Amino acid sequence: MSQSKIKRRVGKYEIGRTIGEGTFAKVKFARNTETGEPVALKILDKEKVLKHKMAEQIKREIATMKLIKHPNVVRLYEIMGSKTKIFIVLEYVTGGELFDKIVNNGRMREDEARRYFHQLINVVDYCHSRGVYHRDLKPENLLLDAYGNLKVSDFGLSALSKQVRDDGLLHTTCGTPNYVAPEVLDDGGYDGATADLWSCGVILFVLLAGYLPFDDSNLMNLYKKISAAEFTCPPWLSFSAMKLITQILDPNPMTRITIPEILKDEWFKKGYKPPVFKEKDDTNLDNVEAVFKDYEEHHVTEQRDEQPTAMNAFELISMSKGLNLGNLFDAEEGFKRETRFTSKCPANEIIHKIEEAAKPLGFDVHKKNYKMRLQNLKAGRKGNLNVATEIFQVAPSLHMVEVRKAKGDTLEFNTFYKSLSTCLEDVVWKTEEDIKELHV
């Protein structure tokens, strides 16, 4: 493999591929050049943040992460700023989303679901003890590390206890509809702790059933089902699991089971071990205010290279599953939000082929350097499907192409990439001998 060329570097971090994308932020894989440690770098556009008055929410997210030092929470290492960007350096979690585990493998056995639920309740209890309420708990915000342990992420909607009004309640309706507690939807104020617990109950139901307890394509019907706690447990659940779910999904927050009561529950107690850990205090959050202002002395330097991002051995190992072409072409792999393939074609030819394949499928194509944004002109179930692609150089004559859902419905994305793969068969490198050669 040729010596890697860095496409972009911020301070001491070498930046690689995009691993996540939201309305106001992108998350990139990065590596600390001093320690070799992989990190996730959340990059926010300063102008957008200020324009949409998001600065206070982001400061709140940082303040929240500073308060929470728990082994089952994604750690925040430091925050940096340039003239145009804000960089939040986070722990890199390699095991994917809990959501993907459910989508690909279906419902879990009770013992497996209970282990994740133990970790979730421990985190929620810890956060509440520090006056922090997550307010957007769902499987997509629950990541897994390399050992299969839960890592709670995305405190962008979290609330600190100081935001509670004089009536002792929170008043912002937020979260994802299927997981939101009835009292949050009622707009009469709610207790952050009991609302988080309701979301935990929905997550437990999904783990054990493999589907949502409350679901309807009509939003008003969905709200009615949630408000009435109108759900049915599947017949394969044990009686004790059904009983606990019913006690958590109680539409009345005053009579809903509490965490101390859950810790004594018959189903929950099986195999439960209280968490033992030492809180680390090595987070560098100096000059948080300065990051949001134009203080040049606090700016971190950014370096760029207009070539396709070179991928070093460290990144390649972290993405090794992506070298299996079955990831793109095997229908048995389940529903994915991203996939990768390798090609011996030049980068410009790969871009041309993707563009040629996407336009007849109804996609508008936007190109920038060795990245592309494909937008479906026709709205789908969750708005317009947006697909991001990026080309990485593994060796002088070998590229890796990542195809990732940026916005829209996951099932529509899977349908799209199956159509795309048919058109790209002549650019995809797929001999087993060559794959073996790459690992030599």
Neighbouring CB atoms inside 10 A of 73's CB total 21
Angle CA 79–367–370, to nearest 5: 65
For 205, residues 6+ apart whose C-beta sits below 8 A from its C-beta are 212, 213, 231, 233, 245, 249
Q: Is 296 exposed, middle or buried (0-12, 13-18, 19+ CB in 10 A)?
A: exposed
Rounded to whole angstroms, the Cα distance separating 346 from 96 reads 30
Q: Is the dihedral of CA 376, 382, 386, 387 positive or negative?
A: negative
42 in a known ligand binding site: yes
Beta-carbon contacts of 398 under 8 Å, excluding residues fewer than 6 positions away, are 342, 343, 344, 429, 438
Q: Alpha-carbon distance 287 to 250, whole Å?
A: 44
As a whole number of angstroms, the distance between CA 62 and CA 277 comes to 22
Please measure the distance between the N-terminal and C-terminal CA atoms of the chain and give it in whole angstroms: 10
Which tokens go with 42?
């959340």
CA 50 and chain centroid, separation = 24
At CA 229, angle to CA 227 and CA 231, rounded to 5?
Answer: 135
Give the separation between CA 44 and CA 79, rounded to whole angstroms. 11
DSSP 288-331: HHHHHTT-GGGBPPEEE--SPEE--HHHHHHTGGGG-THHHH-G
C-alpha pair distances (Å), 235 with each of 239, 242, 245, 278: 9, 9, 13, 41
Residue type, 373: R
Distance between CA 396 and CA 41 in Å, rounded? 27
Distances (CA, A) of 343 to 231, 368, 394: 48, 20, 10
Out of 125, 136, 154, 191, the active site residue is: 136
- Is residue 45 annotated as part of the catalytic site, yes or no? no
Three-class SS of residue 400? strand
Binding site for ATP: residue ranges?
42
Binding site: residue ranges?
42
What amino acid positions are annotated as catalytic residues?
Answer: 136
